[in-house]
A and B are shown apart, each in its own frame.
Chain A
Amino acid sequence: MIEIKDVTKTYSPGTDVAFQALKGVSFTIKDGEFVAIMGPSGSGKSTLMHIMGALDTPSSGLYILDGKDVSTLSDDELAEIRKDKIGFVFQSFNLLPRTTVLRNVMLPLVYAGIDERSREDRAKKALTAAGMNETHFGHRSNELSGGQIQRVAIARALVNDPTLILADEPTGNLDTRTGEIVLGTFQKLNEEQGRTVVLITHEQDVAEHATRIIHIRDGAIQSDSTSHTKRKARTDI
């Protein structure tokens, strides 16, 4: 369960150029939800993602993740939270270059101090869940296609069994077809494994793959609606 309560974020507070990116945002995300956070650039959705991803703390307000208040933690405590509870998928993939698929997925477990054997087992399981074929496990990340790279990144987000998978414009660098495949992967994880997925995007048709869409504009929530016409990712193309 994720609870955001009156969260504000001000950059460079106390200076002349102080900028309030979030002006009191509140919402709750239940376990197993697939939420899209939508908004144009400059709307504050990235700031919200950073706070939800425990990369940053809010200037005021509460952020409760899994019953734990994350809003006032230190850098190292935030790192702990990210390690245990958050899985990131980035627009620019951010896989380690010249490193095999398997090792890339195992990286979060390295920091979690898990031993080598179960690391590999868990990485393989996550890769299978993300729809990767076993023949690619030994490939280096620069030998894969864009869609495959993003699925490896999803597997990496999955591997530490997080409370929340946070995807920041995951289809932004992909063409429509591979983007559909990636979105289909998120839907599958959400429906079959009950994963909580938060998708940040500025594209309406991407957002429509989620069950709930939160619109943000100028640092405040504009609308929060459950999508009744959830768009099924086309896996056939």
Chain B
Amino acid sequence: MRTVDLFEETYTALTANKVRTGLTMLGIIIGIASVIAMTAIGAGAQNSVQASIQSIGSNLVLVMPGAQKGPGYQVSAGRGSARTLTREDATALASGVSTAQEVAPDLSGRYQITAKGTNTNTTVDGVTAAYPDVRNVQIDTGSFISDANDKDIAKVAVLGPTAMQDLFGTDADPTQVIGQNIRIKGYEFTVIGVTKAKGGSGFGSQDDMVFIPLSTAERYFAGADYVTTISIQAVNAQSMTQLQNDVTDLLLQRHNISDPTQADFTVLNQADIVATASSVTNTFTLLLAAVAGISLVVGGIGIMNMMLTTVTERTREIGLRKAIGAKKRDINLQFLVEAIVLTFIGGAVGVGIGWLIAFGLSSLGILQAQVSMSSVLLAFGVSAAIGIVFGYYPARRASELNPIEALRYE
């Protein structure tokens, strides 16, 4: 039997009962479409998490204070409020660690802010001029906190776009906001700039913030010379681990701690955060794909069911074909090709629908879902494999039919 004839037979068989063919295909279509869509959503989620981590800056090592672990009992007010990192630590890191490109200490706290009858409660971050470079903050209008501001302990403030909207209304024009006064915890500050929206939400909105000079924050709000975070940017991605080690060593030395497990600070590597987040989203993607995979198997069983019904229905036809000279192989191939074509078309339609779902999610702005070529190839391979696996048994059954009995079959 020639290949052309084989496909012609398949076409005739599949179009003979279009509704059944369509419904059977639906199982595979749903399976493949969900595999494609789920992996695309997974990839999109991973990218968005990574992007939001990257939005806090690139190649970052963050140093946070930790409670002092000395002998005896101490009253701990929690890690966040520990006062173990100072501005001097930051200065020492900037000069003492060669792999550090820039160092930005900051002191953050949440305070009530008022402006012309409106008020909000948000993060007020005391920063230095290095902050925008390290933490990837861009100024939209006006200027950022300068070294001079810091030196003068100036009462100036730079608003994040969300904070600005909260204080001056959602349609406030940044250029009009510059020069206005706001009150933070009762102290009057002049707005000198507004930052660009960063979007992302990973670790608290980067847009709902007010920046003031570090020295001002220390003087008026903290009343002491300590910082809550020191952000250090590495020279490049490769030197991150080196930087992390250098920072740890230097701070241990400065704080006179010989045992690293007793350190009164924590050094976080951004790469570690990315890796952790990736492993979380990977697991998530795997879970989604597994659920989709189950529906694919169910679809395959649907194919097998239909093929078995077809074989029973067409027993006499099989008998006739054998009587006029069809060999086992011919019958086997005919039914196998039928199952494979069924899954293959189903797979192709499924890929299309999965892609449309991903495209729809992306264009609706829900998630930047990404259909990967590998998932498409995988889906195609899987659907062809399902055709072979689930078509094999019915095809074999058809080919083994005894022509005499098959012809007699009622």
A116 to B2, CA, bound (A): 10
Which A residues are closer than 8 A to B by beta carbons? 50, 53, 55-56, 75-76, 79-80, 82-84, 88, 90, 92, 94, 96, 98-99, 107-108, 110-113, 116, 156, 160
**Cβ proximity bits B289-331 to A, threshold 8 Å, 1 near / 0 not:** 0000000000000000000000000001101111111111110
- Known contacts being A110-B1, A111-B330, is A156 close to B324, with CB within 8 Å? yes
Minimum C-beta distance from A106 to chain B (A): 10
B404 close to A (CB within 8 Å) = yes
Minimum C-beta distance from A153 to chain B (A): 10
Cβ–Cβ contact B316 & A94, under 8 A: yes
Minimum C-beta distance from B7 to chain A (A): 12
Cβ–Cβ contact B324 & A113, under 8 A: no
What are 17 of the A-B contact pairs (CB < 8 Å)? A50-B404, A56-B404, A75-B328, A76-B327, A79-B322, A79-B325, A80-B325, A82-B323, A88-B323, A94-B316, A107-B321, A110-B9, A111-B321, A111-B324, A111-B330, A112-B325, A156-B324
Cβ–Cβ contact A53 & B323, under 8 A: yes
A82 to B4, CA, bound (A): 23
- B residues 376-410 with Cβ under 8 Å of A? 403-404, 407
- B residues 316-353 with Cβ under 8 Å of A? 316-317, 319-330
9 smallest beta-carbon distances between A and B, as pairs: A83-B325, A108-B324, A94-B320, A79-B327, A111-B325, A82-B325, A110-B5, A76-B327, A111-B326
B238 close to A (CB within 8 Å) = no
Residues of A within 8 A of B321 (CB): 107, 111
B16 close to A (CB within 8 Å) = yes
Residues of A within 8 A of B176 (CB): none
Residues of B within 8 A of A55 (CB): 323, 403-404
Residues of A within 8 A of B329 (CB): 76
B12 close to A (CB within 8 Å) = yes
A110 to B326, CA, bound (A): 9
Number of interface residues of B (CB under 8 A): 24
- B residues 1-32 with Cβ under 8 Å of A? 1-2, 4-5, 9, 12, 16
Which chain B residue shows the least CB distance to A106? B5
Residues of A within 8 A of B9 (CB): 110
Cβ–Cβ contact A88 & B324, under 8 A: yes
Which chain A residue shows the least CB distance to B403? A55
SS of A interface (majority): helix
Minimum C-beta distance from B325 to chain A (A): 3
Residues of B within 8 A of A79 (CB): 322, 325-328
Which chain B residue shows the least CB distance to A75? B328
Residues of B within 8 A of A160 (CB): 324-325
Cβ–Cβ contact B16 & A98, under 8 A: yes
Cβ–Cβ contact A76 & B326, under 8 A: no
Minimum C-beta distance from A107 to chain B (A): 6
Minimum C-beta distance from B22 to chain A (A): 17
A107 to B331, CA, bound (A): 13
Residues of B within 8 A of A75 (CB): 327-328
Residues of A within 8 A of B325 (CB): 79-80, 82-84, 108, 111-112, 160
Minimum C-beta distance from B335 to chain A (A): 15
A110 to B316, CA, bound (A): 18
The listed residue with most B CB atoms (<10 A of its CB), out of A80, A111, A113, A156, is A111
Residues of B within 8 A of A99 (CB): 12
A110 to B5, CA, bound (A): 7
Residues of B within 8 A of A80 (CB): 325, 327
Minimum C-beta distance from A150 to chain B (A): 14
Residues of A within 8 A of B16 (CB): 98
- Known contacts being A79-B322, A111-B1, is A94 close to B407, with CB within 8 Å? yes
A154 to B16, CA, bound (A): 25
Cβ–Cβ contact B328 & A76, under 8 A: yes
A82 to B16, CA, bound (A): 28
The listed residue with most B CB atoms (<10 A of its CB), out of A53, A88, A156, is A88
Residues of B within 8 A of A84 (CB): 325
Which chain A residue shows the least CB distance to B317? A96
Which chain A residue shows the least CB distance to B319? A94
Minimum C-beta distance from A192 to chain B (A): 24
- Known contacts being A94-B316, A99-B12, A113-B2, is A83 close to B324, with CB within 8 Å? yes
